Structure formats: structure tokens, C-alpha cells
Chains A and B, each alone.
Chain A
Amino acid sequence: MFARLFNSKEKPRFKRSKKWENELNKCIRCGYCYELCPLFKTNNWESDTPRGKLLLIYGMITGEIKPTQEIVEKIFQCFYCKNCSDNCSAGVPVTDILTDARADLIEAGFDVEGTIVKVDEDLCSVCGVCVPVCKYEALSIEEESKDKSKIVVDKVECRGCGLCVSACPSGAISQKEGCQITLRELHTKVSDLLKENKEMKAIVFCCNWSLFPGMQLSESLTLVKTPYGLIVSMCSGRVAPELVLNAFEEGAWGVMVAGCPPEECDHDGNYKTRRRLVLLKSMLKELNIEPERIKLEWFSTGESAKLTKSIDDFVNKLDKLGPIQKMEVSKKIGG
């Protein structure tokens, strides 16, 4: 209790995590989960993989290593896409183990950034818009005094999806950079893709939960260049309108968003995307830009053939439409 209040660290007892020792032994450490981990694809450090995290938890509960700030940061870097848990042939419940380890470490007084969202109290007006956005109830309004309240983040429950980041009207919620999830990093990715390949016509945002386009870690100068660029965002709900408009500004002929089917989204982010894109399409109309340059389609896990066909159809449509002519007004909006 006091450790929590004063943010000092007590020796973690790992009372929740210790029950998982047998499950951690079941992990044969094949490392096949590397392929499925978006964080590993970004950082390329094995300590960011599910196998790496399980190793660290095992080391801590068996007493072989003591938790340090570096270790704790690794444990709190995960987007809970559950690709690892869902595909582990040894059936190891990776994210359940991770959640218990997080709770043990928070209880011991560790403070972390990880992929957890943070609220800038100077910018936050405590409007509460973010609270219902979070399906995991990780955000709540806490009354500090009679006339002062603030938004509090439950660091164990936060899944790092970042939907609250896109929803906050004051721009008060953020995540640390370095994991390729912030709006700025996504903008840079869009811009780099379009600069690298002048023939690129479409930017396709894929939801990490529903679709996973393979390992794609290696670089190739000789790959057949595709007329589209894939960006794996954490949830289709992260695709903010300015991201779409900026893609147009950078030269994309069209933007496609591939999300989970409505009933399958873990975060209900797809509903938000749908609403946003409907509004954005009508805005494009006002600007004399064809609304069909924005496409939203749902794909379940494993429907990669459907995705490929859908992208091809979209690119064919863009070929007929040609490049965008008028961007003067949208520049102001997306700017």
C-alpha cells in the first residue's frame, strides 16, 4: 500500500506469477512467436518477443534474476494482440502470464512507461471522453479534492491499443515513441513508404489483430515493387483522419483500412473507424476529391487471400481514377 503511494519498491513476491511456473516450463522456447510479434518487428531485440518476456518472468519468479527497471519496462511493452497466445502450439497463455507479472510488479512499487498510455494533466480538461473508449476500463476519473479531479490510468489493465490517444480532443494522452505506434511515427512510415517507391498508389493500414502479413523483417532491394504499401497499425481505430489526409498530401492516390469485422474487434475500434471514415469521405466530396479513394473493409484472421484481392481491386480502381488533382483545402485540414 505504502509502496504504491510513495512509489518506492519493495521486493516483489510474485504471488500471482508463481502459479505459472509449470506453464513456463511448457514453453519449449522454439521462438516461433517472433514471427507474430509486432514489437519484435519494430525493435528486433529478442527481449521484446513473447519468448523473451516469458524468460524474464521465469527468471524473476525462480529468483535467478531480480527485477530491474530495464526488465520491468520490457514486461510492460506489449500490445496484447495475442497473436502469440493464440498461435502457441505448446498452448502457453502468454498474455495471462504477462498480466499477472505486471500486477505483481506494480504492487511492488515499480513505475513504468512501456506501451502504457500517459495523461498530460496540464493539457487534460478531464472531459472524460477517453473513459468509455477503453474497453478494458483502464481509464477512470479520480477525484483529488472537491473541485479537482484527474484521469487515472490502470497500468495493469492498459493494453496499449492507443484508441484513447486518437479519441482525446485535447491531445493530452500519449504513448512513448520507439514502438512505431504514435501518430508521428505512423506519419513518418507513410511518408517513407511513398518516398521509397514513387510508383506506390495506395497506403493500406492493416489491423494487427485481424491480419498478419508474415515476418517481413528482411530488407530487399530486389523485391518486386508493389503499387501499395502495408502499414500494420495496432487497431484500425488508430487510423486518425489526419493520417489519411497526410497520405494524400504525400502523394498517395488512395488509402485503404483493413480492420476486424465489427463483432470481432477486441477494442470496438472498428466502429470508430467506420464513423470517422464516413465523415472523411463526405469531406472529400466537398473538396472535389472522389470519396472512393478511401476504402474500409473487414477481414478476419487468416483471410489474407481476401485481403490481397481487395487490395488489387482497390489499386485497379485507383488506376482508373488517376492521381489526386486538388489538395489545397485538405492541406489546411491535415496540416
Chain B
Amino acid sequence: MKIDIGKLKKIVGEKNLSDNIADLYVYASDASVHHALPAVIVRPKTIEEVQKIMRYANTNKIPVVPRGAGSGTSGHTVPIDGGIILDMKQMNRIIDISPEDMLVRVEPGVVDDDLNRALKPYGLFYPPAPASSRIATIGGEIAANASGVRSVKYGATRDYVLGMKVVLADGKLVNLGANTRVHSSGYQLERLIVGSEGTLGVVVEATMGIRPLPKYRCLGVANFDRLEDAGNAISEIISSGSQPSMLELMDKIGIIAVNKAMDLKLPEVAAIIMFEADGNVKQAVDFEIDKMKKICEKHNGTDIEMSYDIAERTRLFSGRKKLFASLSRYKEGIICTDLADDMGVPNSKIAVTAKKIHEIAERNNVIMAVYGHCGSGVIHTKIMLDPKKKSQWKDAEKVIEELYDYVHSVGGVTSAEHGIGLSKAPPWKKARKDIIPMMKSIKKALDPNNILNPHKLMDAPDNWVEATNLRYRVG
């Protein structure tokens, strides 16, 4: 595969292309454990440039990996076949904000928090809010069907995508979806692109629904001496018909880690639940928050604190907000890896799954924290291990297999909001043999030369430790 750098430079300009090792090495990574060098990085600024790049790549059968901020956790943007990284961050215009129609039109490189900053003066917001919203781009969020702490009330990216412009593998531009809140006009192709991880087309513009900012938000925090009690409290809050705008769990491992990393002095109990209600009528918010408080108390929740004040809410939430990275500080000699990180389970299975995760980790010589947007059934974990020991990677593989076998056996899903990429592909493929032929047919129809983010999802290697480069020096 020989890439004509001169030709690509003509399309995007000298300043928007790099094939020097400093850039190639950095764009070889994302937040996952994987690493693979691309041949070149290009940064298009217009739809026409994306079309020209795709036409060139398709004719010459060169892999193309679209990339937002590179904050993905499963290796979606790691170019395991080399080729072109299509860095979409330069296409970062908020094209239109329409409060009358309650929608926005954006280019894919717009940063989630920037969009919310732009919407705030209108009293509006874009709700999905993944933890990485400070850097994550809308294009990347569409590719992963991202969601976050407010998914329990507001849903995921797919619930906001109304329409989009997509450049296909052969360079053709298509308009998918509509500008209306609903449509029943043929296949919901815009939904097909959501969660496709850059394998079906390049999103070059998106029309997204937005919501009015609630006038009141109240956050509560409760401590629990048993993880099961916390899990059961979450399940009951959901099944009781409450409408939390956030319902988060943090286990003792997570609490110790944030205390060590940030000296937060949180009580080192078995688990903490954070519950929030929002709305425009204070009495309604009071009602919801009080109902959740009572359920926490019923399940032995103690030391409950609640506040409407933004500074106090920020303080109460700070541990959860920074938990992910803090896990590396839990214990000397071990680090936090982004593996088995976002399974989804039915509401009734939260407590038992949380307990099972600790059991599996202990049996396999690794440490796993349990936290996440449990109100939506999203359980975040991370595998904490010594990355230099080869045996620890074998342990990690075993944990993943056992854990996902369990999750699938209780009706859960492999990934709730981060996507499959490389590292979650083996357990997902094992569980979803039924849909893989259909997905392969769709991929073949839209990308017959297999140039768009090849060897991801259903085409990812089965043994990710041996088949992909790990970003750590092992041995």
C-alpha cells in the first residue's frame, strides 16, 4: 500500500497533513490498551475535502480511520491496518442553533462542552454528557453512541440524532434522517450510523435535538456499608417509578482511589450512591429527591447529604467525576487499564453483578472497581493490573471471558456506551453470533473494499492480546 502524500497534501494543504513520526506515534493511540501506527494523518476542513480523500482511498484500497478526540476506550480509532487517520477536529463549526425547532446543526469536530456553552445563553442543552464531554467530539459520540451520567433520564446519543450528512466509502455524500423530531420515511439510516464506530461512513454534519435546561437540580449522596444494599437501592429507585436525572454508584475501591489521588477524604464505606433530580418546578424536584432519599434509607443508606447549590453539588460529585483516572493510584505497582469497562445489565441484576465482578477479579489476581451510571444499568469497571507482567494479561483475558459470560447470561450487553472496537470484540462476537452475518452484509454493501476502519467490531481479531500491539512494555 503506497500512499501518494503529495496528492493528499493537495487536497488538505501542507499544514493539515503529517507523516512525521512525532504525529504518527501519538495518533497510534487512544485511551485503550492498543497501539498501531498510521501511515499519514490528514485534517480535512470541508465536506469536499473528505469526499476527495475517500475517493482517493477507495480507488487505491487504503484504510481510513475517522478520529475525533481519541478518547475512545476500546481501540476504535487505533489503525491496526495502518493507512490514513482522518482527524475530524478541524471541522468544528456550530452551523446553526435553532431554538424554534429545538435542534442544532454541527460539524463532527465540535466539542460536546463547547456545544453546551453555546446553548446555555438560550436556556438549552445537549444532554448525553459522557464523562469525556470536555474533549469528546460530536462525531466521536455518534460513532460510539455515547452516553453518560444523565442517560437515566435523557438517554444516549441515538436519542438526539435527527439527521446527518455522511460521506460514504466511495466519496458519495448522502443526507440521512430529517430535521423533524420523528420520521417514518423509510429505513432509519441515520440510526444505522450511530454506534457504527467509523466502519460505514464519515459523518460530516449532524442535526441533533436539544432540550431546555432545567431550572432546578438537586444532588444527594448516601453511604452504604454493603455493596449489595447500594445495588438494591438503585434497583428500587428505578422500579419505583422515580425519575432521577442521575443515579451513580461508586464502590470502596473507587473511593480509596480518589482519596489517594485527590485527598478528598471521602468516607471509605463499601459504596456511595449519588442521586439527582431536576426540573422546572421545585416542589416536583423536592418530591423526587425525597422519594430517592427514603429508598436509600430503607436499604441502610446513611449520612445522606443533599444540595441545590452548584458549588456544593460540584464538591459532592468531584470524586465520581475524576474516578476513572484516579484508579491508577489505588495501589503501587498496578495501573488502571480500559478493559471490560462498560457492560450494561437489567435493573434487577445490578447488585448481583457488582458482587460477581469483585468475585471474578479476586479469583483471577486482578483488582476491579465497580462504579457507573447504574440507574441506566451501566456498570463501569476497569481491570487494574501490573502491565509489565505477561501473566497479568492472561489474567485479564480470563476475567473478560468469565465476566461477559456472566453478564450475557443475565441478559446484559457487552458495551452500554463506549462501543466494541478491538478489546470487547471477542466476548461480543461470542454472544451475538446471530447478528454478525447481517452486520457483515451491511458493511459489504456500504464499503465493498473494506477501507473504513477495517478489522473492528465483527471483523476484529479474536485474540486481542496477541493480535494487536499493547501500548505497554510487557516483560
Contact = CB atoms under 8 A, between A and B. Distances in A.
Q: Do A and B come from one complex?
A: yes
Interface of A: 21-22, 25-32, 34-35, 44-47, 51-52, 55-56, 59, 62, 64-65, 68, 70-71, 73-74, 88-91, 214-224
A90 B325 contact: yes
B113 A215 contact: yes
Main secondary structure on B side of the interface with A? mixed
A31 B132 contact: yes
B93 A218 contact: yes
Interface stretch (B27-35, B156-164, B193-201, B447-455): B27-35
Given A218-B111, A222-B95, 13 more contacts: A25-B472, A30-B31, A30-B325, A35-B134, A44-B90, A47-B23, A68-B20, A68-B22, A90-B326, A217-B111, A221-B94, A222-B97, A223-B118
B121 A217 contact: no
Contact of B329 (A25, A59, A90, A214): A90
Nearest to B85: A46
A56 B338 contact: no
A26 B29 contact: no
A85 to B, nearest CB: 13
Interface string B253-285: 000001001100000000000000000000000
Contacts of B316: none
B328 interface: yes
B333 to A, nearest CB: 8
B135 A215 contact: yes
Q: Is the interface of A mostly helix, strand, loop or mixed?
A: loop
B203 to A, nearest CB: 15
Interface in B104-129: 106, 109-111, 113-115, 117-118, 121-122
B261 A91 contact: yes
Nearest to B114: A218
Contacts of A44: 43, 89-90
B71 A215 contact: no
A31 B71 contact: yes
Nearest to B329: A91
B90 to A, nearest CB: 6
Given A71-B21, A89-B326, A216-B117, A30 B132 contact: yes
Contact of A70 (B20, B93, B134, B338): B20
Interface in B6-46: 18, 20-23, 25-27, 29-31, 43
Contact of B121 (A29, A34, A224): A224
Contacts of B335: 25-26, 28
Kindly name the residue among A74, A222, A224 whose own CB sees the greatest number of chain B CB atoms within 10 A. A222
Contacts of A52: 26
Closest 10 CB pairs of A and B: A89-B325, A89-B322, A220-B94, A218-B114, A26-B328, A90-B325, A70-B22, A52-B26, A70-B20, A47-B26
A194 B253 CA distance: 52
18 contacts: A29-B471, A31-B69, A31-B132, A34-B69, A35-B113, A46-B23, A46-B27, A47-B25, A51-B26, A52-B26, A68-B22, A89-B322, A89-B323, A90-B261, A215-B135, A217-B92, A222-B96, A223-B94
B135 A71 contact: no
Given A56-B25, A74-B22, A88 B94 contact: no
B93 A221 contact: yes
A44 B93 CA distance: 14
B113 A29 contact: no
A134 B114 CA distance: 36
A214 B20 contact: no
A29 B97 contact: no
A32 B328 contact: no
B243 to A, nearest CB: 30
Which of B135, B338, B388 has most chain A Cβ within 10 Å? B135
A45 B20 CA distance: 12
A224 B329 CA distance: 42
A34 B262 CA distance: 20
Contacts of B96: 221-222
A31 B329 contact: no
B328 A90 contact: yes
Contact of B325 (A28, A45, A215, A223): A28
A30 B323 CA distance: 12
B427 interface: no
Contacts of A73: 22
B128 to A, nearest CB: 16
A25 B387 contact: yes
B22 A29 contact: no
Contacts of B473: 21, 62
A188 to B, nearest CB: 17
Contacts of B31: 28-31
Contacts of A68: 20-22
Contacts of A45: 18, 23
B89 A217 contact: yes
A244 to B, nearest CB: 28
A327 B118 CA distance: 35
A89 B324 contact: yes
Given A29-B31, A71-B21, A222-B96, A46 B26 contact: yes
A25 B333 CA distance: 10
Contacts of B233: none
A73 B21 CA distance: 12
Nearest to B97: A222
B389 to A, nearest CB: 12
Contacts of B322: 89
Nearest to B321: A89
B22 A218 contact: no
A221 B118 CA distance: 10
Contact of B118 (A62, A70, A222): A222
B204 to A, nearest CB: 15
A58 B473 CA distance: 9
B336 interface: yes
A218 B118 CA distance: 10
A64 B20 CA distance: 15
B475 to A, nearest CB: 11
A55 B114 contact: no
Contacts of B301: none
A160 to B, nearest CB: 18
A91 B325 CA distance: 8
Interface string B308-330: 00000000000000111111110
B70 interface: yes
Given A56-B22, A220-B93, A32 B325 contact: yes
Contact of A55 (B26, B89, B97): B26
